[in-house]
Structure 1
Amino acid sequence: MSLIELTDHGLYCPQAELFIDPWKPVDKAIITHAHADHSRWGMKHYLAHHHSEKVMRLRLGSDISLETMEYGEIMDINGVKVSLHPAGHIPGSSQVKLSYKGKIVVISGDYKIEDDGLSKQFEPVKCHEFVSECTFGMPIYKWEPQAIVFASINAWWKQNTEQGRNSVIFSYSLGKSQRIINNLDASIGDIFAHGAIWNTNQALISNGVPIRDIPKVTAETPKSRFKGALIIAPPSAMGSAWMKKFAPFRTAVCSGWMNIRGAKKRSAADIGFVLSDHADWEGLITAIKSTEAEKVYLTHGSTAAFGRYLEEVEKIQAVALETLFEGEAADLADG
């Protein structure tokens, strides 16, 4: 008996007749989180966590058919018990637990195990089969505690202000930007958001997510207000005419890919900070072992190498799934 199978529309649970994060239009879809590679337009009905609601409506349309659940709430669909559990990736990110006739499968979506103070921390869920990303599934990826990273970001910002320069940080509009905003030292200067990030902030705040409410950059904002300020912008704004209003400025990119020297050079920013909303090598192993799963399905990332490690070292059966999920692959564009 299989509770999940991979189809040309995405991961499918035949017993419940629903898809998890499908990439083509279907009748019923459970969405693990609101990033664009997991939450797509065109489904007849969506099911997601409460904190994903306003952002999904912002991105997919206010009139979508969307039902929400809280973590731990159980819904019976054709005899399959469905529940959502914290993934720690971004606000509202969820692992989907499917239970049917004694078998448990968990589809984790994207996740990280460090408590970021914004998302509900990753919760290990015991299961027989576990679907895991492995975006950063190689030993070279090892994250420092976020407190150290944010101390470096604040020190960089302060140094820029002392040199008479403004600061611009490029990061994902959903999840990472809010995480950065909440950890900036506001005593250094004012903080502003690009319109895309400000709109996302407002959607999350209206959903009860605790985010520092900062002003939006508008055409009417006097240039003098940006003196010594830090501006959060999506990577798509890099090199655009929109940036001219902040001159003179220094730029930074926040991404797990900044762990690689070549990626720092290709980013076109002045500096790169290693900050990811995905689990690093040790985080992936810790999360997978904590589920006690007998079989692990791997999506997007170093599936072959990570799968070999799981089978040869951890003695866990691993199967690679060819999905359309991108993880942090598009991190230097926008997500």
Structure 2
Amino acid sequence: MNDAVISKKPRLKTSAMIASIAGEGQITRSAPFGHALVELARARQNVVGMTADLGKYTDLHLFAQAFPERYYQMGMAEQLLMGAAAGLAHEGAQPFVTTYAVFATRRAYDFMHQAIAEDNLDVKIVCALPGLTTGYGPSHQAAEDLALMRAMPNMTVIDPCDALEIEQMVPAIADHKGPVYARLLRGNVPVVLDEYDYQFELGKAKLLRDGAEVLIISTGIMTMRALEVAKAFEADNVGVGVLHVPTIKPLDTATILREAKRSGRLVVVAQNHTVIGGLGEAVASALLTAGVTPPFRQIALPDAFLDAGALPTLHDRYGISTNAMVDTIKGWLG
């Protein structure tokens, strides 16, 4: 086949890099992190925005437009980004640092550990494409970021559910003195927690709905899925409770134990993260340490390098779509 023939063929399109996890017809808000940070910076002159060539893709471009003199674009150098953030924090600034979760947790881990966390500096690291929210494959899928960041001393770790929680999270982590790692949903982000009169509190889990047969302990986008699962089970008269745990570290052990102690319920931890080292193992450890032993299962990503492809296909393949979760839990209930 000659080059002329090849050049006339239409280029195939791919949906692999779709970062939005909004369902069809779902209410969304555009760039909730970027807008919330701009509002925060209007009131706090020490807030600065920093990124490693990903301002547009972490919604930090809104901050750059509003406060160009407080915006630092460090280029594709994540280690330098973290080191510079540490230096600015030493001088009294409060840096909000953005990049992709894989680049922060895998490429710049030692710089966060030694330059930021060891000195307990007031740096907020907010990272896009958490877990399986991109189809670009293992190079961009941060399936193990929570495990890595949970292991870092002094680091607070947050996995927000939706646009509302991201908006509420920004001022809350600004009020917290010390380093924070937060997952970020960017672009057009679903709004789901407004139906539950929700208010984010750092370090607190919230029971969004109750149920007698199943308790789903979830975080991040899996709380959206858990709420959809609970509604699906209503047709079968099966009560599914949803306990949302946005703060992975420090873990709200008291609330988790209180809900898990209630007899007769299957406890399922749902997370957009590998089964290794994330919320599931944190909850399991808390339950076992306290001598609380309900029937326990996990819905999570496998301990494997994940495929590339379109997100709906991948979510079905790896069991974190609503339909896949319903089928899995029905199987456990028998």
Structure that is richer in strand per residue: 1
Same fold (TM over 0.5): no
Structure that is richer in helix per residue: 2
